Amino acid sequence: MEIVIPIFPNLTALDAVGPYEVLSRLPHATVRFLAAEPGPQATENGMLSLVAEGRLADHPHPDIVLMPGGFGTRALMEDEATLGWLREAHAASDWTTSVCTGALVLAAAGILDGIPATTHWLLRDRLHELGAVPVEERVVRHGKIITAAGVSAGIDMALTLAAEIAGESYAEAIQLGIEYDPDPPFPGGSTRSSRPEIIDLVRRRASELA
> Which string of x and - marks every residue 72-101 that binds a copy of itself (by CB under 8 A)?
----------------------------x-
Residue 166 φ/ψ, nearest 5 degrees: -115, 0
Residue 75 or 202: the one with the smaller Cβ distance to a copy of itself is 202
Among the listed residues 172, 163, 140, the one whose alpha carbon sits nearest the alpha carbon of residue 153: 140
**Total number of residues binding a copy of itself (CB under 8 A)?**
66
Q: Does 199 bind a copy of itself (CB under 8 A)?
A: yes
The DSSP 8-state label assigned to residue 43 in this structure reads B
Q: Does 183 bind a copy of itself (CB under 8 A)?
A: yes
100 classed as catalytic: yes
CB 118 within 8 A of CB 147: yes
The DSSP 8-state label assigned to residue 101 in this structure reads T
Q: Looking at residues 112 to 171 of the shown chain, list those that interact with a copy of itself (rule: CB under 8 A).
A: 120-121, 138-139, 149-153, 155-156, 159-160, 163, 168-169, 171
CA distance 123 to 61: 29
The amino acid that residue 14 corresponds to is: L
Q: Does 40 bind a copy of itself (CB under 8 A)?
A: yes
CB 190 within 8 A of CB 119: no
Residue 109, Cβ density class (10 Å: 0-12 exposed, 13-18 middle, ≥19 buried): buried
Name the residues that contact a copy of itself, by CB under 8 A.
Answer: 12-14, 17-18, 20-21, 24, 30-33, 40, 45, 47-51, 53, 100, 120-121, 138-139, 149-153, 155-156, 159-160, 163, 168-169, 171-173, 175-186, 188-195, 197-199, 201-202, 205
| Residues taking part in catalysis | 100
